[in-house]
Amino acid sequence: MVQPAHVATTADRILDVAERLTQSQGYNGFSYADVAAELELTRAALHYHFPGKAELGLALVARYAQRFMTALSAIDALDDPCAELAAYAQLYLDVLEDRRMCLCGMLAAEHQTLPARMQDAVIAFFDDNERWLATVLDDGRAKGALTFAGTSEATARMIVDGLEGAMLVARLHHDPSRFRASADRLLDSLCT
C-alpha cells in the first residue's frame, strides 16, 4: 500500500495553528486554549505533544528555521547573486501576501517576554540569515555582480533589517506592494 507523502500528525497540526496565530497576532496573543479550541483537542492533548508553551515556541522556531534554510538552499541553486537576493526577498513577500509576518520577526518584537531558549533560537535564526546573505554578497562582489560599501556582514544586516521593517510597515498599511517597492529599491542599489 502506498502511503501519502506526508500525513499531518497531531503535533504538526498543533504547530501549524500555533505558527499561524504567532504570525498573525504574536506569541503572547494566543494561549493553549486557543489552539485546542481550533483543533477541537483538549489542552491535555496539547501538553502531551508540547509540555509547555515554551516547548511549543522552540518547536515553532526550529521548524520555521529549518524550512527557511531549505528554501535558502534552493535559492543557492540560482547561482546569480541578484536573483538570489530577489528570491530571498520573495520569501518575505510570500508570507506577507498570506496576511502574516515573518515568524521570527514577530517573535523578535516580543523578545523581552520570551523564554531564554526561545530568545536564543530567534537570534540564531537571524544570525543564520545574515551569514547566508553575507556569503551571497561576497560571491556577488567577487563576480562583479554586486557593489556595496563596507563589509558583507554589515550589508547583510542592513538587508535583514530593511526587509523586516518594510514587512512591518506594509502590514500596517495592508499593502504588500509597499514591501515590494522597498525591497526592490534596497536590492537594486546592490546590483550592478
How far apart are the C-alpha atoms of 131 and 133, rounded to whole Å? 5
Residues 6+ apart with CB under 8 A from 58: 115, 117, 118, 121
Averaged pLDDT score across all residues of the chain:
94
166: Cβ–Cβ under 8 A, 6 or more apart, which residues?
92, 178, 179, 182, 183, 186
Task: Identify the pLDDT of residue 108.
Answer: 96
Per residue in 115-127, pLDDT (tens digit) is 999 999 999 999 9
* CA–CA gap between residue 50 and residue 60 (Å, rounded): 11
pLDDT interval class at 3 (50, 70, 90): very low
The candidate with the shortest Cα–Cα distance to 102, out of 110, 94, 113, 92, is 92
DSSP helix/strand/coil, 121: helix
pLDDT at 5 over 60: no
Q: How far apart are CA 55 and CA 61, in angstroms?
A: 10
Query: Does the structure show a pLDDT above 60 at 167?
Result: yes
Give counts: helices (H), strands (E), the chain: 9, 0
Decide if pLDDT at 6 tops 60.
no
Angle (CA) 152-156-160 rounded to 5° is: 175
Whether 26 shows a pLDDT value over 60: the answer reads yes
Percent of the chain, pLDDT > 70? Answer: 96
pLDDT at 2: 44
Give the CATH number of domain 10-188; options: 3.40.50.1950, 2.60.40.60, 3.40.630.30, 1.10.357.10: 1.10.357.10
**Three-state SS for 152?**
helix
Q: Using 50, 70 and 90 to split pLDDT, how confident is the model at 192?
A: confident
**pLDDT at residue 91 above 90?**
yes
pLDDT of 62 over the 90 cut: yes
Q: Answer yes or no: is pLDDT of 154 > 70.
A: yes
> How does DSSP assign 124-135, residue by residue?
HHHHHHHHHHHH
In the three-class reduction of DSSP (H, G, I as helix; E, B as strand; rest coil), residue 144 is classed as coil
Taking the mean position of all CA atoms in its chain, how far away is CA 126?
9
Model confidence at 1, in pLDDT bands (50, 70, 90)? very low
